[in-house]
Chains A and B, each alone.
Chain A
């Protein structure tokens, strides 16, 4: 259990996190979502005591991180996969961390096996690909077999195979009753992994919803071209396109339902295209005003 309570962090005049409050519960995967610069990494760094908040606090099972007697056994964290000494072998990097807690070194071999790095255990991380570094970072997070796992953009740099592996791993950890908190700036990624989404923009909470709720709020629509547009709209909810008499947008109906209905009423369809407003769209809509850096000329929705 992770409690973020009224956390504010400023860097000079810039407010990176503003009065942020939410909880992360065990047993589910909680996704922390927001555009680049939204304050996700800052919040996670505050959680593990690397950054000092200007106001508020983050509690780990009711206690601040600094007060934990065995932090690695309570919280596993991956912040910046590249932040390891480039010339100390992967094995020894983990062995140093394990030694601080008296974690037996056989656990190092175990987690290296778990993330698929056994064969390169003796190699220096300086020569690792980003994907291998991420795996080493995840190995470090799992070292103490912690009840809480905090991962900042863990799938960055992973290939599709690796992404699927992380997803399975995280779902497995949550199923074991652990608290899993991971960040991403990509909705598509989160929709598949997270049960719950905490969405922030410019350091402020934008939404705290279950993935299912968010999906439900944003139903798919159908783009239909038919010479009998008026007849069709009499049968189903939707709207005619003001510019094109043959074009209608139908909501709250599946493509199959509309096709069968049209066939029964002998309405010819020239086109039937699902224009799903994806979670991605929902997310962009939620955070659009909060995107800190927009490319010039690409501010369209």
Chain B
């Protein structure tokens, strides 16, 4: 028999069990799937039904597959925040007194679950759009750029999940934490616009929202980061958020 005791893989595995043993997880997954696909195939349906001209110009290189992304993002943010704020911390931390490992493990489990589902959803929605468009005689090719864009959107959702977990630990209240995550993507860019031009030009591409856009957009503009740099930047933000959350959780009374 192997000896019992705490190890990081075991803690991650416990966090995965924590997620899959709540019915609400499956509700989040179902609603994310339904909305992402339904909204994502809408443009392609428009073409197939003849409401839009049978022309790729109208739906873009992704066939409109990421149209529902901002809704998916809300669902993911709520799911990730609740994965922390709805769980009583005392039982968790008596089993695993090294609190930083719990924070890291929960971010890993939540981020990985969201990444897996999101990849299935972005590529699945694209496949559905592809089928619908080909029925209207429009070819929607899966180019390297499109694949990068679809994976980038999934990575972005996974990033939202990690931020949600970190915000949940930091702020403890679900509403405050969800608001904080959303402000990173909707408020920070607005603040960025208020900066003087010279500074804005240097700062804006590095904001989480714009780094995510660089990963996600099928045709990145010149001022955007290159995809690999954008991926590195998002990873750095994710690690930073988890470290910040660990430090806060380690210091306080549960």
Q: Spell out A's residues near B (CB within 8 Å).
A: 45, 48-52, 65-66, 68-73, 77, 79-80, 83-85, 87-89, 92-93, 95-97, 99-103, 140, 144
Could you tell me if B94 and A101 are in contact, using CB atoms closer than 8 angstroms?
A: no
B1-19 interface bits toward A, Cβ cutoff 8 Å, 1 = contact, 0 = none: 0111111001101100110
Q: Nearest CB to that of B105 among chain A residues?
A: A100
Query: What is the minimal beta-carbon distance from B158 to any residue of chain A, in angstroms?
Result: 22
Whether B254 and A88, one on each chain, are in contact in the complex, defined by CB atoms closer than 8 angstroms, is no
Contact present for B17 and A51 (CB under 8 Å):
no
B5→A97 contact, CB < 8 A: no
Q: Which residues of B contact A140 (CB under 8 A)?
A: 91
B186 CB–A CB distance under 8 Å: no
Main secondary structure of the interface of B (DSSP, over half): loop
Decide if B4 touches A48 in the complex (CB within 8 Å): no
Check if A89 sits within 8 Å of B21, measured CB to CB.
yes
Contact between B91 and A102, CB atoms less than 8 A apart: no
Interface of A is mostly: loop
Q: Decide if B21 touches A92 in the complex (CB within 8 Å).
A: yes
Asked whether, in the complex, the Cβ of A96 is within 8 Å of the Cβ of B94, the reply is no
B198 at the A interface (CB under 8 A): no
Residues of A within 8 A of B2 (CB): 102
Residues of B within 8 A of A48 (CB): 94, 97
**CA A247 – CA B22 in complex, angstroms?**
69
**Quick one: given A73-B5, A100-B96, A102-B5, are A92 and B17 in contact (CB under 8 Å)?**
yes
Are the C-beta atoms of B22 and A101 separated by less than 8 Å? no
Which residues of the other chain, A, contact B95 by a CB distance below 8 angstroms? 71-72, 97, 100-101
Asked if residues B93 and A49 are in contact (CB atoms below 8 Å), the reply is yes
**Which 5 A-B pairs have CB atoms at the shortest separation, nearest pair first?**
A70-B5, A99-B14, A92-B21, A83-B88, A100-B14
How many A-B residue pairs lie within 8 Å, measured between CB atoms?
Answer: 90
Residues B91 and A83 in contact, CB atoms below 8 Å apart: yes
Contacts of B93 in A (CB 8 A): 49-50
Does B97 contact A95, Cβ atoms closer than 8 Å?
Answer: no
Q: For residue B3, which residues in chain A have a CB less than 8 angstroms away from its CB?
A: 70, 102
A101-B5 contact, Cβ under 8 Å, with A48-B97, A50-B254, A71-B97: yes
Given contacts A49-B97, A65-B97, A95-B21, contact A144 B91 (CB under 8 A): no
Beyond the given A93-B91, A95-B21, A140-B91, please list 17 additional residue pairs across the A-B interface where CB-CB is below 8 A.
A48-B97, A50-B254, A66-B98, A70-B5, A71-B95, A71-B96, A71-B97, A72-B95, A79-B94, A87-B23, A89-B21, A95-B17, A99-B13, A101-B4, A102-B2, A102-B3, A102-B10
Q: Which residues of A contact B98 (CB under 8 A)?
A: 66
| Whole-angstrom CA separation of A192 from B13 in the bound complex | 42
CB pair A88–B22 under 8 Å, yes or no, is: yes
Determine whether B86 belongs to the interface, using a CB cutoff of 8 Å to chain A.
yes
Minimal beta-carbon separation of A74 from chain B (angstroms) = 10
Name the interface residues of B31-62: CB closer than 8 Å to any CB of A.
Answer: none
Closest residue on chain A to residue B1 by CB atoms: A104
Is there a chain A Cβ closer than 8 Å to B232's Cβ?
no
Closest chain A residue to B90, Cβ basis: A83
Within the complex, which residue of A49, A69, A83, A88 is in contact with B5, where a contact is CB–CB below 8 Å? A69
Output the nearest chain A residue to B251 by Cβ-Cβ distance: A52
Closest to A48 in B: B94
Residues of B near A89 (CB, < 8 A) are 21
Q: Which of B11, B95, B98, B254 has the most CB of A within 10 A?
A: B95
> Which residues 84-118 of B have a CB within 8 angstroms of A?
86-88, 90-91, 93-98
